[in-house]
Amino acid sequence: MTAIVWFRRDLRLNDNPALVRALAGHTSVVPVFCLDDRLLSGRHRCAPRAAFLRGCLLELDRRLATLGSGLVVLSGRPEAALPRLAARLNAEETFAAADVSPFSRRRDNATALALRSAGSALRLQPGVFAVDDLSALRTGAGGPYSVFTHFHRRWLREPRRTVLPAPDALPALPSSVQASGVPGFGEALAHARFQAGEAAGRASMFEFTKSGVGNYAELHDAVGRPGTSRLSPYLHLGCISPRELESLLPDGTGGTAARRQLCWRDFYAHVLLHNPGNARAEQQEHLRGRVAWVGSVQLFDAWRTGQTGYPLVDAGMRELARTGYMHNRARLVVGSFLVKDLGIDWRWGERWFMRTLLDGDEANNNGNWQWIASVGVDPQPPSRRMFNPVLQQRRFDPDGTYVRLNVPELREVPNEYLAEPWMMPDGIQRAARCRIGVDYPAPIVDHAQARREAIARYARAREARQVMLPARHPPSAVDRPADRSRA
């Protein structure tokens, strides 16, 4: 009896329900990855993330080989490639970890139909989220959740499955197939901070849960200090299991705060699962097509290149461009600045993040952008999520460590002027070798004025009685040839 294990966002051997289920009922198990061109050149293409994916696959292949197996890499869409392989192997079942995005669900439906025609069956298993079945979490009225605090209370009560060990050995590949090797693709960042693969992910997980989580509640917002877990790229591709990570978190304030972040991850997946239209439109229907976004490519380019004149915003965007990563607090600040200060459609920022982040995850990215844009679930008045970049810098980077690391023009600026460098007198600018408007840009907008305009923009949208023309979408700015080279 033969089964296929289709690896997707569970690129690990530890706590892999799909792999364990296949081994339990079959004498022959064939590990497979489908190199679908849509992963490399589709809507959310990202060359650094693709390179990170390749590194994870290389390590998975090596680990499979040490256990007596190997990774079979198929080229093409899985709905075409998997049925051909299943027919050749006479494989009765194909096991894979269930996912929630509209793309993954369409892909799985098409693959299930094609496999059925080939005499095989697609068996979806848990493994991508901390809770096995996000669709089972329902409100008292029987519907999906749209408020995080209510979801969090229900999520904490949901039973958890036992963490599964990695297998000690695997069946050899059938003679009709062989481990094909992982082809080259993607373009790694010169300053990437993350080593790809399960071994690196597990090492980071153990380091965090043993020594880093104790101060997590106090430090995870401090952009200039090592207070975050830095596990998001490994969680995105499943190099580590969110269920295992949760099981390792200790009691106490740090463990509670980290567990809450895992819940946010599951919450946004739950939201996208039940609201697939959120991938392209606002969760709040009364705002769809009614917010008069500015649509300035010039302002967007200043934002994405870190040339806004607001140091914390520019530090975040330059960290992203250089490393493929951005501190979570910085993500909130730069997101608020794009949408609220510049008045630019949240989809422009969402798309840029997906094109540049190593941990780019559609559910989390979409949920966070809609949250900061005040158009998604868990709604609050727009003014509640309108971050002042000057005050945010003074609170979360008080000594300027983060800003100076990422914006070298400002390294010699005295701390008292670092959050508002445009306030430096001419003599101090010369002494700091940072002339505003020459070495570092002046602010491209006035935050106080932008705040008033944003509040008015949302007020007009709420008062609108007819749907406006659709807002311009990111491709007009993000898909230009000059930008594709950076993605």
- 427 burial (CB, 10 Å; 0-12 / 13-18 / 19+) is exposed
Class of domain 131-162+199-274: mainly alpha
245, 256 Cβ separation under 8 angstroms: no
Per-residue pLDDT at 486: 27
Where b means 16+ CB within 10 Å and e means fewer, 176-187 reads eeebbebeebbe
| Main-chain phi, psi angles of 29, to 5 degrees | -130, 130
The neighbour count for residue 168, using CB atoms within 10 Å, is 7
Distance of CA 214 to the CA centre of its chain: 24
Mean pLDDT of the chain: 94
List the chain domain ranges. Answer: 2-128, 131-162+199-274, 278-484
Judge contact between 380 and 374, C-beta under 8 A: yes
Q: What pLDDT band is residue 433 in, cutting at 50, 70 and 90?
A: very high
pLDDT > 70 fraction of the chain, expressed in percent and rounded: 95
- For residue 462, give the nearest of 282, 278, 338, 277 by alpha carbon: 282
Report pLDDT for 469: 46
Structure tokens at 353: 């993040």
Place of tokens 């790809």: 196
- Name the band, by pLDDT with cuts 50, 70 and 90, for residue 192: confident
CATH architecture for residues 2-128: 3-Layer(aba) Sandwich (3.40)
Does residue 471 carry a pLDDT above 90?
no
Q: What is the mean pLDDT of residues 205-228?
A: 96
Q: How far apart are CA 421 and CA 310, in angstroms?
A: 8
Into which CATH architecture does domain 278-484 fall?
Orthogonal Bundle (1.10)
2-128 and 278-484 share one fold: no
User: Residue 104 has which token pair?
Assistant: 């993954």
With CA atoms as reference, report the closest residue to 470 among 281, 337, 318. Answer: 281
User: How far is it, in rounded angstroms, from Cα 178 to Cα 199?
Assistant: 24
CB count in 10 Å sphere of residue 251? 8
pLDDT at site 378: 78
User: Which of 106, 114, 107, 109 is CA-nearest to residue 87?
Assistant: 114
The pLDDT-based confidence of 331 (bands split at 50, 70, 90) is very high
pLDDT band at 479 (very low <50, low <70, confident <90, very high): very low
pLDDT tens digits along 111-157: 999 999 999 999 999 999 999 999 999 999 999 999 999 999 999 99
pLDDT at 2 over 70: yes
187-205 average pLDDT score: 95
Q: What is the pLDDT of residue 365?
A: 98
* pTM summary value: 0.94
In DSSP notation, 106-150 reads HHHHHHHHHHHHTT-EEEEE--SSSSS-GGG---TTSS----HHH
Q: What is the pLDDT of residue 467?
A: 46
Over the stretch 54-75, which tens digit does the pLDDT of each residue have? 999 999 999 999 999 999 999 9
pLDDT digits (tens, 9 = 90+) for 275-312: 999 999 999 999 999 999 999 999 999 999 999 999 99
3-state secondary structure of 459: helix
- DSSP state for residue 286 in the 8-state scheme: G
Alpha-carbon span 316 to 330, nearest angstrom: 5
- How far apart are alpha carbons 478 and 80 in whole angstroms? 31
pLDDT in tens, 340-366: 999 999 999 999 999 999 999 999 999
In this model, does residue 435 exceed pLDDT 50?
yes
* Mean pLDDT along residues 180-196: 93
The pLDDT of residue 482 is 35
For the stretch 225-283, pLDDT in tens is: 999 999 999 999 999 999 999 999 999 999 999 999 999 999 999 999 999 999 999 99
pLDDT of residue 485 exceeding 60: no
pLDDT band at 475 (very low <50, low <70, confident <90, very high): very low
Residue of 340, 318, 335 whose CA lies nearest to 455? 340
